[in-house]
A and B are shown apart, each in its own frame.
Chain A
Amino acid sequence: MDNKYMENMLSKMDKDLSKHGMNRRDAIKLAGLSGAGLFMGTTSASAEEEKIVKSDAKAKIVIVGGGLAGVSTAARLTLQLTDPDITIIEPDPNSVSYQPGQTMVAAGLWDEEDIMYKRDDFIPDGVKVIEDRAVFFNPQENKLTTEKGQVVSYDYLILAMGVQLDFERIKGLEEAGRALSSGDNEKLLDALGDSICSIYTAKGSVKTWEIMQKYIDQAKSGKKTKFVFTHPDTPLKCGGAPKKIIYLTNSRLKEAGARENAELTFYPNGGAMFGVPEYHDAIVGQFAREDIKYHYRHNLIEVDKEKKIAVFDAKWQEKGPWDPIMKDFEVIPKREKVRVPYDMLHIAPANIAPREIGESDLGSSKGWIPVNKETLQHIRYLNVFSIGDVAQVPMGKTGGSVRKQYKVLVDNLIALMNDKKMEAKYAGYTVCPLITDIGTVMLAEFDWTVKPTPSFPLDPTVERWIFWLMKAYALKPMTMYGMLSGRA
């Protein structure tokens, strides 16, 4: 770990603590944790390291995608294999940017530099990098081809290329194309203009802060200002982000004394705030307390940038006439285009798997990579694994899920290389540090049981300042220096 970074982070945190009349030890006691537990998450890095038994198995491993999932997996494989032969295929030199920080950037709390990292600083020793994109897959022959035409063969393939942000499916934004989180995304930002924003790209989160300030000023000047927020009809990475940006906008409006002139409305495609009933109830309570309006089952399909109108595909059901045969009332599905005027529109874009996957034999009909959700092994090609956002694993397209998945994947891959039974299983853990205000976070942890699975002995539905400290100060070093080196 980077000592200087840690010290800097701790001194910033101490300042924050002393404003509340506390020192670090009190804060840690309050959380009911050991120091290491708070800063390194729930696993102790040193205990983890002792368990590692190195394997002599030898094979050529190719990882497609050098983001958090791909690089963490490569790092852990390097730790566990005596003679690793690993190649990462990744065109973007900033692929390991700290995406969870994009909400912080969008709220003006962090700068862009706080989340930008260079891929090559995190590539483990001896791991080869091909700066290109894998676009054609031939899993029958264990080969793939890159955009520049290089053919790469492999013994084992790990697919970790993440999702694409599909702005072009929204009518009126077709020229935005499909974006990735990092990169300059100029075409996207030009297409969105000065009233539409999205924190789903790094550059977009910087622009979001500019746009948000503009409309907070407008509200402050006494003009009624409408802030509209969306949530798409596809799986979404960090499903909490569309709500975090609402809460942060709300927080900044209150701080500016402009909340009364602002109307905040959330239009999610789904019919609930959260898949876990406990967290759903908590969020509904928070929305009521903060006077944030919401309308379920609205999917953004069109934007009129000139007139500043967002068009939603709204669905609902109505009670129909009595059916004498079924002895019940009919249910009539209704559908309507709803036109919503906005001043500032925040779009959480549809997330889709890169099309090259759907075009190949590796993808499902929807483009995601079908894997055994517990072992992360491909259902047809047994030497192929997938991890992170692109894997067809229910719930949890988050860095928190990856933190559990990459250890499972590495254990199973090494077991397979040694002709042993794959015993590691992923149980669906994911986490959403839901920022509800500047200074409070509700740490929503859960898994496939769809019940809260808190790591801390505290009520998980309560918003806490201590989790804000964790989100603002501890999770980044844990991710950047713990996970990316394969240890945390």
Chain B
Amino acid sequence: MKKIVLTMLFASIGLVASEGEIPYTIGLKLTPQPAKIYAAECASCHGKDGKQTSFSGFPGGIAYAKIAGMDTAMLAKTIKEYRGGVESKDYQPLNKYGYGAAMLAPTRDLSWDEIDAVAKYINGLK
């Protein structure tokens, strides 16, 4: 009978620790990194500080409320509504204030864990 219980070595050969920042991709079941998510998905419209209230990137420009410091639970609920169910084919995006389509694209791939983390982050923006 061969003994199967054997040693485990933490790899050392051929492995090089990476330098610089680890990339973060949303939707991979990684530990959420809300600052990176906010910077990638939210900041272009809402501003780095969450206080921007207009965006000229859309034809005619659009206006909205500032989000910095909003209630965490309310933010999380709203973002989840904008996001909708994963791949549910007949899903109609929530068209609150007419921003359904604009909010669907950046939220589509977020997991609920990531939404909760980002909501907390936005609440903490001063």
Chain A residues proximal to chain B, CB less than 8 Å: 1-3, 60, 85, 87, 120-131, 135-136, 145, 147-153, 164, 166, 168-171, 174-175, 177-178, 301-302, 313, 354-356, 359, 481, 484-485
Check B86 against A153 for contact (C-beta < 8 Å).
no
Q: Which of B15, B22, B25, B112 is A359 in contact with, Cβ under 8 Å?
A: B25
- Contacts A301-B88, A354-B29 given; 12 further ones with Cβ under 8 A? A2-B1, A124-B6, A126-B6, A128-B10, A136-B25, A148-B22, A149-B22, A152-B15, A168-B112, A169-B86, A177-B113, A301-B85
Chain B residues proximal to chain A, CB less than 8 Å: 1-2, 4-11, 13-18, 22-23, 25, 27-31, 80, 85-91, 111-113
Q: Which of B5, B28, B91 is A121 in contact with, Cβ under 8 Å?
A: B5
Report the bound CA distance from A286 to B18 in whole Å: 57
Report the bound CA distance from A293 to B54 in whole Å: 57
Check A177 against B7 for contact (C-beta < 8 Å).
no
Check A151 against B17 for contact (C-beta < 8 Å).
yes
Report the bound CA distance from A126 to B29 in whole Å: 30
Can you list 11 contacts pairing A with B, beta carbon distance less than 8 Å? A121-B5, A126-B6, A127-B6, A147-B30, A166-B86, A169-B86, A170-B85, A174-B80, A174-B86, A301-B85, A485-B4
Check B112 against A177 for contact (C-beta < 8 Å).
yes
Check A125 against B28 for contact (C-beta < 8 Å).
no
Q: Which of A2, A131, A145, A175 is B112 in contact with, Cβ under 8 Å?
A: A175
- Contact residues of B: prevailing secondary structure: loop
Check B18 against A121 for contact (C-beta < 8 Å).
no
Chain B residues with CB under 8 A of A359: 25, 28
- Contact residues of A: prevailing secondary structure: mixed
The minimal Cβ–Cβ distance linking B98 to chain A, given in whole angstroms, is 23
Check B9 against A129 for contact (C-beta < 8 Å).
yes
Chain A residues with CB under 8 A of B22: 145, 147-149
Check B1 against A1 for contact (C-beta < 8 Å).
yes
Chain A residues with CB under 8 A of B7: 125
Report the bound CA distance from A302 to B91 in whole Å: 11
The minimal Cβ–Cβ distance linking B5 to chain A, given in whole angstroms, is 5
Check A122 against B8 for contact (C-beta < 8 Å).
no
The minimal Cβ–Cβ distance linking B15 to chain A, given in whole angstroms, is 6
Check A168 against B86 for contact (C-beta < 8 Å).
yes
Check A128 against B4 for contact (C-beta < 8 Å).
no
Check B6 against A125 for contact (C-beta < 8 Å).
yes
